[in-house]
Structure 1
């Protein structure tokens, strides 16, 4: 795909954690993408809502490639997302880059349904399967409990994860959107080391200068916490169940996929915590 201003790219979830960074990365390369969002407020932003398919055709008009961030308010991505991707194909979109998850295989639940669809139906695709984000600690579900209760709640036991910075995922996404050839494969993206949640708590304690605890729950207790925090009940249960995957050792791995895609090493947890320490100050 040509890396010039004629390249038309739509970034769905374009104001979210990775989408915003993908947009920034594209602009640094001289490309001004369409920014898909449910609440457009700037000239570069366009109305895009997976659950309102009529918004999609206008957003896909003139687009060659799309960065896909699936909706988080539903777990039935097969029913919600795939009809919109049919619209994308009918509009001439050729390249699709999906943000999925390391724990979701092609054909599995949620983004796994989209992964399977891309493999069977589109000419150019890449599926990014990152492990858990370091941003989960700095501005997602764990940030408030670290700040207010000096605690991290999970159902992961002593399981280890190759936590990754969203900026590394975004750099991988930009590369996949602009690479001259289509990868037509998935990449499991990790940081440079594996850590347990207790390890992360220890690193936070050392850098912040106060004791942060890891509180281990069972899956149902964690799902209830997520649901009470506003997530759809089924989505909350699915998300909490992923912690069992961690406890069983399935995220205890490091890959070189960030380097393969970006030619740069991923950021470490220590560097990330130091750069973001203000997030946890009460």
Structure 2
């Protein structure tokens, strides 16, 4: 995966450039020789080969500068917004009008094309963008090790995971695998022009996750099977706005009913290598689950 040489190198704009996948995508593109511009409300640490533009989904005055000269765009929705389409659809139109040809959207596995929110953005890309890809990853493995996430915080603090998923299973995926697929979609010579449901190699329940983490941490971690209202209240106490917490619990209920019990071959097919298993990631971050001081001083692992 290499960008074109010389003045033909594409300029790739990465919205959410300081986020979990945005940072990883930017690093891969820069290493491949692409010109990279990250865009976010706060500036990231300086990196060779990466420029930065201030960007706020809710502030249209920041959009023109971010898009200037970009012919490829990685779209990451604003955080904790239940329906991001009102902010994203005008930006998509502006990106196309400014000359961007290839748009890659980070969506999510439960979001079908045309459904409210990101599903509407998905449909707009297919209908309007000359070249497009929609990434629909399953739940991030990094949710269990990033201290900003309620799951990671609860494991570290109480030794618990609380969900309304019951025994439902999920094809948890490493964000590095998502970033690799995204980088290919942005730089491959031929556009993908499709939607990719991205999973890890196995579907696990939260009971399974708790058992794996317990073995690695050397202490008991349990999955609390909460009801709908208790799960919503738990997320609100963790700092998630109530409407968005309700949305997340609705996804839990769909998982409980089997909606995410699947694995796909996308990572292998697009990148040429197998996706990372959760046990491998958990062992690599055993210090996080054991609560070692070096882990508490460190930043997010994603």
Same fold? TM cut 0.5: yes
Secondary structure of the 2:23 match is helix
Query: What is aligned with 1:144?
Result: 153
Looking at structure 2, the residues matched to 29 and 231 of structure 1 have their Cα atoms a distance apart, in angstroms, of 37
CA contact (8 A) 1:102 1:188 kept: yes
In the TM superposition, 1:192-211 aligns within 5 A as 192-211=201-220
Looking at structure 1, the residues matched to 123 and 111 of structure 2 have their Cα atoms a distance apart, in angstroms, of 11
Instruction: Please report the RMSD computed on the Cα atoms of aligned residues, expressed in angstroms.
Output: 1.5
Deviates more, 1:143-152 or 1:74-83: 74-83
| 1:27 lines up with 2:30 in the alignment | yes
In the TM superposition, 1:166-245 aligns within 5 A as 166-245=175-254
Looking at structure 1, the residues matched to 100 and 12 of structure 2 have their Cα atoms a distance apart, in angstroms, of 9
Looking at structure 2, the residues matched to 100 and 70 of structure 1 have their Cα atoms a distance apart, in angstroms, of 8
Deviates more, 1:137-146 or 1:163-172: 137-146
Query: What is aligned with 2:120?
Result: 113
Using the size of structure 1 for normalisation, the TM-score is 0.96
Looking at structure 2, the residues matched to 176 and 39 of structure 1 have their Cα atoms a distance apart, in angstroms, of 26
| 1:53 lines up with 2:51 in the alignment | no
Deviates more, 1:93-102 or 1:22-31: 22-31
Query: What is aligned with 2:165?
Result: 156
Counterpart pick for 2:39 among 33, 36, 55: 36
Secondary structure of the 2:260 match is coil
Q: Offset at 1:2? A: 7.9
Aligned residue pairs total 282
Query: What is aligned with 2:133?
Result: 126
Looking at structure 1, the residues matched to 282 and 95 of structure 2 have their Cα atoms a distance apart, in angstroms, of 39
Q: Offset at 1:121? A: 1.2
Q: Deviation digits for residues 81-132 of structure 1, max 9, x if unmatched? A: 1111111111111111111111000011221121111111111110010111
CA contact (8 A) 1:2 1:180 kept: no
Provide runs of 4+ in structure 1 moved above 3 Å.
none
Which ranges in structure 1 are unaligned for 5 or more consecutive residues? none
Counterpart pick for 1:100 among 107, 126, 144: 107
In the TM superposition, 1:5-16 aligns within 5 A as 6-16=9-19
Q: Offset at 1:229? A: 2.6
Looking at structure 2, the residues matched to 206 and 41 of structure 1 have their Cα atoms a distance apart, in angstroms, of 36
Looking at structure 1, the residues matched to 126 and 35 of structure 2 have their Cα atoms a distance apart, in angstroms, of 28
Looking at structure 2, the residues matched to 227 and 4 of structure 1 have their Cα atoms a distance apart, in angstroms, of 47
Which ranges in structure 2 are unaligned for 5 or more consecutive residues? 292-302
Q: Offset at 1:245? A: 1.2
Q: Offset at 1:75? A: 1.5
Going from structure 1 to structure 2, the CA distance change for 1:179 and 1:226 (only over 3 Å counts) comes to same
Using the size of structure 2 for normalisation, the TM-score is 0.90
| 1:84 lines up with 2:82 in the alignment | no
CA contact (8 A) 1:153 1:215 kept: yes
Going from structure 1 to structure 2, the CA distance change for 1:2 and 1:270 (only over 3 Å counts) comes to closer
Going from structure 1 to structure 2, the CA distance change for 1:278 and 1:2 (only over 3 Å counts) comes to closer
CA contact (8 A) 1:159 1:252 kept: yes
Query: What is aligned with 1:71?
Result: 78
Looking at structure 2, the residues matched to 236 and 25 of structure 1 have their Cα atoms a distance apart, in angstroms, of 33
